[in-house]
Amino acid sequence: MLKQRLQQKLMQKLSPQQIQLMKLLQVPTLLLDQRIKQEIEENPALEEGEDFQDEVDQQEQDEYENSIETGEDHDDEVSNEDEFDFSDYIDDEEIPEYRLNANNTAVDDESREVPSIAGSSAQEVLLTQLGLRNLSEREQLIARHIIGNIDESGYLQRDIHSLIDDLAFNQNIKSNFAEVLDLLRIIQEFDPPGIGARDLQECLLIQIRRKQPKTKAILHATVMLEKNFNDFTKKHYEKIMKKHSMTEQDLKEAVEEVLKLNPKPGNSLQDSGKAAEYVVPDFILVHNDGEMELTLNSSNAPDLRINRTYSEMFQTMADSKGKADKRQKEALFFVKQKIDSAKWFIDAIKQRQHTLMITMQAILGFQKEYFLTGDETKLRPMILKDIADMVQLDISTISRVANSKYIQTPFGTFLLKEFFSESMQTDKGEEVSTREVKKILQNCIEAESKKKPLTDDELAVILKEKGYNIARRTVAKYREQLDIPVARLRKEL
């Protein structure tokens, strides 16, 4: 049975302004400029530039809105020259497009357009080389299909039997293993060397076989890759030397030749026109006579203002006498909506600047020794709650500030998230940052003998001697987080 009833309840709900601020907080500097440009395009009442003082008075807006609702007339006299004809702005007649175009450039004007580079894709480069081969139409179709299955790294993604099935079902071409393999061999002769390989071993062999002249080191490298590829990848050098009667010097020269090869030849064929990505810092920290000076990147603090035309349009309409008709009310509501939206956006940008600054200043204060010296061992354990308590903001707000934000310091540019770390206790009961332990672990590995690298057990013993009581499993976890391979793979001749 359906019933109707009234119910009262309390609930928290974010206002549109708060939602806008939260979204702006997590946007890095590189994307903030795009976000501002998008807002300016969508809102004609917003523009770049320093703010001016004669903005619309809120009281006048309220008074005029009340007069429209009540139907009362304004008593203020307005001269003819100051009268505002709102129909000029809401005229339904379209203006021809040619009257809106302007060509104010001269022949001698300097062009300041950003130059762009147009490059060829990897597929186009390979297809161009294919066109230089004397192949039949059928062979061209099969070879094109093979090239279409080469990935960005330069490897053939599908095996030959799958390619035969694809050709039969998709292009109605009946082929066989030998024919497809012969065409694959032709493609593997293309540049860059190693393209079209089916695995890493074949990729390296294609490259080493094309090297000229055939020195002793290249011959040894070829044999090593053909006969002992697994031993080479696992760095079982003793087995290789014993099996092929190589001296340690011979093996060292052969390994050096292999290391010169490109394991991902397709990367050199990537579109050269792709724009390079740079890290744009959100904060800039400089040292001045031993004192730290923090500033926001200028892109983080743009000058925005209300469009003067929209402001004057609204004020003139509010001061005009006589009742407003329906069209004028709709137009006035539209102008007011855009002005309010622009004000909210400007306030959100200012609030964003304030939140970023107080959060970063709190981080500087907490990690003062590190930011003065640049020594990672000076980093203190710090979590989001520590900074949230200092600035009296929510943890989620601090997380948004730290997300994708960078700071430029005298000793490098760093992601803010890198300064947050958990804590652990030393054997003396002191709280230290896990970042400090990772740095000491990295220093130990960099100082080790590469002929006999330190195992995780040995690293755990060294850290314990330094006062850090860490288990071998923890050492392995920290080593993996630092992208450092196991001891066997760090071994060098």
Residues with pLDDT less than 70, the chain: 1, 12-17, 49-120, 270-277, 299-301, 317-325, 429
In angstroms, the CA 424 to CA 478 distance is: 13
* pLDDT per residue as tens digits for the range 270-316: 644 455 567 788 899 998 887 889 988 876 667 788 878 777 777 77
The per-residue pLDDT for 193 is 92
Q: Which of 453, 445, 346 is nearest to 46 (CA)?
A: 346
105 belongs to a structural domain: no
Are 304 and 402 members of one domain? yes
Are 190 and 222 members of one domain? yes
Are 298 and 383 members of one domain? yes
* pLDDT per residue as tens digits for the range 59-108: 555 554 555 455 544 444 434 444 445 454 444 444 455 444 555 555 55
208 belongs to a structural domain: yes
Are 127 and 264 members of one domain? yes
110 belongs to a structural domain: no
Provide the domain limits for residue 431. Answer: 423-490
Q: What is the CATH number of the domain that holds 441?
A: 1.10.10.60
Count the neighbouring beta carbons within 10 Å of the beta carbon of residue 430: 10
432 belongs to a structural domain: yes
In angstroms, the CA 351 to CA 348 distance is: 5
Are 400 and 295 members of one domain? yes
Are 406 and 433 members of one domain? no
Among the candidates 269, 294, 326, a domain finishes at 269
Are 381 and 468 members of one domain? no
Cα Rg of the chain (Å, integer): 34
The per-residue pLDDT for 102 is 52
Are 178 and 298 members of one domain? no
Q: Is the peptide bond before 192 cis (omega within 30 degrees of 0)?
A: yes
179 belongs to a structural domain: yes
Strands 304-306 and 291-296: unpaired
Are 219 and 165 members of one domain? yes
Q: Which of 485, 491, 424, 493 is nearest to 456 (CA)?
A: 485
Sole residue written with tokens 């003819």: 80
The per-residue pLDDT for 220 is 93
Are 218 and 345 members of one domain? no
Domain tally for the chain?
3
Structure tokens at 475: 């050492």
Are 152 and 179 members of one domain? yes
The per-residue pLDDT for 464 is 87
50 belongs to a structural domain: no
Among the candidates 269, 303, 328, a domain finishes at 269
The pTM of the full predicted model, rounded to 2 decimals, is 0.56
The per-residue pLDDT for 13 is 67
Among the candidates 382, 400, 419, a domain finishes at 419
In angstroms, the CA 362 to CA 393 distance is: 12
User: Amino acid identity of 424?
Assistant: M
2 belongs to a structural domain: no
365 belongs to a structural domain: yes
The per-residue pLDDT for 270 is 66
Strands 406-409 and 283-288: parallel
Q: Using alpha carbons, list the distances in angstroms from residue 168 to 96, 141, 172, 183, 186.
A: 58, 12, 5, 16, 21
Are 440 and 342 members of one domain? no
The per-residue pLDDT for 323 is 57
The per-residue pLDDT for 400 is 86
In angstroms, the CA 293 to CA 327 distance is: 54
What interhelical angle do 326-366 and 58-70 show, nearest 10?
A: 150
